[in-house]
Structure 1
Amino acid sequence: MIIIKKIVRIALWLIVSLVSLTVLYFLIAVLLTIIPANSDFTEQKKGINIFVISNGAHTDVCVPIKNKIIDWKTLVDTTDFEYRYHSFKYISFGWGDKGFYLETPTWAELKFSVAFEAMMLPSPTAMHVTMYDFILKESELVKKITISESQYKLLKEYIENTFALDSDQSVQPIDCCRYAGMNDNFYEAKGYFSLFKTCNVWTNNALKTAGVKTAVWAPFDKCVFYHLD
């Protein structure tokens, strides 16, 4: 009986601790979302249009496929993609947990083991790259930001530096899977995914690096969008 009471007490302590930590995590997320980084940012009247895209949970940074600063086709070979349009207009970049990306093409296929590892353990990452042959339009899940050339250069360097390169200094495609209805590919990436460095934190840091007004820390897509509305 004493042993059972101890087990129950420990179980209750674990549950209370888990709930408390979860509440604390969300409170910190809210606080650091409300507090802006780059609060003096002013959107350019004329400049380079970039987009932040969300699928309701995960965010990407979308940029012109080519301008005088960079032609992204020199970094990412378009022949690696399923559809090889000659008129690509935009390219989006997302960073995230490798296992989650490759093993969860739809939310219906989400496995507990993959979700647990992604959220609770530092795990390897991948870059998700998508090509678009049309100009994106703003919506609830797509926000446009106009930045200067100097800001775009900083964003470019941030994105480039996230790819894990091979000995020839080339990106490394992961030829295993693609998402239905998307012209996309996956590539090896630097860094580890965790509760504190999520896919949305990567996107938020991209905006922060470019000098855009955004959250101090943004673990969720709504945190990234908070200062963009």
Structure 2
Amino acid sequence: MAIAGSVLAYFIAAVIGAVLPAGGGSRPAEDRPHRVLMVAGPIHYDFLIPLDAPAKARFAFLETAGLQLSHPDAQWLLLGWGAREFYTSAGSYRDVSAKAVLKGVFGDASTLRADVLGAIAPAQELPAVSFSPEEYAAFLEAAAASFRRTPDGAAQALAHPGFTATDRFFEAEGRFHLLRTCNTWVARMIRASGRRFGAWTPLPYSVSLSHALFLKE
């Protein structure tokens, strides 16, 4: 009963945190020409950042790690943050060990997964976040600062195979735990831009709810 009560309390708090606003205010939609997409998995949201000139410039350090941002077919940078042992488990959630789950709950080092994608099918209606040029620059800066870098500024790739032929895992800043999840990272990046979003969004539903409340256009 105690465990069931704790789980219920966590889910209730995840809803409350999603509806409590934090961050900046609102401005006319026409002042926000930059659009970043969000793609949801069963437990996790990633960003799809358009490989426009500002993004290519800010993430140029990933080129030396093998990501082909300048490939003529490259259109999007996929970026997601998560618990290292859980996130780097091979391929399927069936492969995730109990140890990885426990570390994700109580504390684990974090990692960023980055991949370069081509065109996205028009039928995919993904949620978007619109930014002004100033907000977009702040968002890109926050996302880039999530990578743990060497003294000379290089990203630190993990010696671990990715999920695709083109993705990479990288050392990331911050620890992952039950209160600081991949989805709260998404919210932190959005709020870092100056846009308003939920104060605490640990679950995918929290992100979806906050997006509907604060970013729906």
The normalised TM-score by structure 1 is 0.82
Q: In structure 2, what is the Cα distance between the partners aligned to 1:57 and 1:194?
A: 14
Tell me the alpha carbon deviations over residues 88-147 of structure 1, each in whole angstroms, 9 at most, x when there is no partner: 11102111101112124211212222112111x21101111011111465746x212221
Give yes or no for the alignment of 1:159 onto 2:143: yes
Residue of structure 2 aligned with 1:86, choices 63, 69, 72: 72
Q: 1:99 aligns to what SS in structure 2?
A: helix
Counterpart mapping for 1:68-107 below 5 A: 68=54, 70-77=56-63, 80-81=66-67, 85-107=71-93
SS of the counterpart of 1:108? helix
Q: Who is 2:34 aligned against?
A: 48
**Kept after mapping to 2: 8 A contact 1:204/1:215:** yes
TM-score, normalising length: structure 2: 0.86
Letter of the structure 2 residue corresponding to residue 80 of structure 1: G
Structure 1: runs of 5 or more not aligned? 1-15
SS at match of 2:210: coil
| 2:80–2:182 contact (8 Å) kept in structure 1 | yes
Secondary structure class of the residue paired with 2:211: coil
The alignment of Structure 1 onto Structure 2 pairs a total of residues equal to 211
**What residue number does 2:131 align with?**
147
Q: Give the CA deviation at 1:66.
A: 2.8
Aligned 8 A contact 2:20 2:199 in 1: yes
Identity %: 18
Q: Which stretches in structure 2 are left out of the alignment for 5+ residues?
A: 213-217
In structure 1, distance between residues paired with 2:90 and 2:27: 38
Asked if the contact 2:39/2:127 (under 8 Å) is kept, the reply is yes
Contact 1:117 1:123 in 2 (8 A): yes
Taking the aligned partners of 2:121 and 2:202, their CA distance within structure 1 comes to: 24
Match of 1:109 in 2: 95
- Tell whether 2:212 aligns with 1:214: no
Question: 1:33-73 CA distances to partner (integer Å, 9 max, x unpaired)?
Answer: 12223473246325111111111221112212232465255
- Work out the CA distance in 1 between the residues paired with 2:3 and 2:168: 36
Residue identity opposite 1:106 in structure 2:
S
**2:171 pairs with 1:177:** no
Aligned residue number for residue 228 of structure 1: 211
Contact 1:62–1:93 (8 Å) recurs in 2: yes
For 1:77, what is the secondary structure of its paired residue?
helix
1:187 aligned to 2:170?
A: yes
